[in-house]
Amino acid sequence: MSAGYFICAPGKTSSAGNRMLYALRDELRRRGFAARVFDWVHPDDPSRTDARPWELDAAARVDDIAVYPEIVWGNPLGFRKVARWVLNVPGLLGGGRTYASGEAVFTWSPEYLSGVPRLRFDSVDRSLFFADPQVVRDTICTFVYKGGKCRDIPEEAGAVKITRDWPAHREELAELLRRTRVLYSFDANSSLLDEALVCGVDVRIVRPDRLDPYVPTDPFDAAVFPDEMETFVRITQALDGRDGGEGEGCYPGATRRSLRRRARLARLAYCITRAERFRMAEILLKQASVFAGERVKR
């Protein structure tokens, strides 16, 4: 019997990485696997969360596979089989820079982590993002987000500022990009840049001393995606769970006392990196109330 997948998501619907975690769930389901997403920011929202870890029985933690993005420290849900999907540079947005020896590690791009299998979905929703020759391009936009603003540029005058939270809906973002002639981005690593290219926008990356045209360095390849997905399934299904729960920051079967101690550390780490990460600490506290005094047999 095939192992199921329990995918841990950070709850940011505006994040391409978060959308890809849901895309992984959907692809695994198409292939006949039981796959569920747990949104630790919205654990009670059935549109975002398929199952909650404190409602799982002990067998699920032994038999199924936890899939964590790189922003999650260790193995907080206590699964014996762990896969790690590196969707950005390890440690940049949170989480550790190294992983337990028994984890199956995959990367969105070798630029983030080399020496492990690549798994890359098409991050552009082409039903939303496309060029429309009937639309007049009369807009200049800027985008900062993760890049940080390295300098002021004269092109910003009168430009529309795209932020992480605006436009609020992706349909509105797509409509704006179809009207955009040039996008000046201080962030050189965002799926928004690929969405803009698909909409026919001239995308420029703002450097400290120049403007560079944006050229994707590791784009989605539909021809190799089936092989990448097959590799992911083959490697994760072969996990034996011996070492996936070991390593700093992991909680393979902690007691109530150790979970509370680690939860305090998790709360501090997540508050330092991203404000919404503190929700993981609450998960650990709930887990402690369920697994108090129990240890997962290894």
% of residues, the chain, pLDDT over 90: 45
pLDDT band (50, 70, 90) for residue 50: confident
Tens of pLDDT, residues 175-190: 999 999 999 998 888 8
* Closest alpha carbon to 65 in 1, 20, 4: 4
pLDDT digits (tens, 9 = 90+) for 114-134: 999 999 999 898 999 999 999
pLDDT for residue 296 is more than 50: no
Reply yes or no on whether the pLDDT at 82 is more than 60.
yes
Task: With cut-offs at 50, 70 and 90, classify the pLDDT of residue 204.
Answer: very high
Mean pLDDT of 65-86: 92
Between 268 and 214, where is the model more confident?
Answer: 214
68 or 151, which is more confident? 68
- All domains in the chain, ordered by first residue: 5-122+221-291 (no CATH), 139-213 (3.40.50)
Q: What is the pLDDT, as a whole number, of residue 47?
A: 75
pLDDT of the residue at 291: 40
Burial 29-63 (b: 16+ CB within 10 A, else e): eeeebbbbbbbbbebeeeebbbebbeebeeebbbb
Q: How far is CA 5 from CA 51, 250, 260, in A?
A: 11, 18, 26
Q: How far is 232 from 281, CA to CA, in rounded Å?
A: 29
- Please give the average per-residue pLDDT across 189-217, as a whole number: 91
pLDDT recorded at residue 179: 95
Q: For the chain, what percent of residues have pLDDT higher than 70?
A: 79
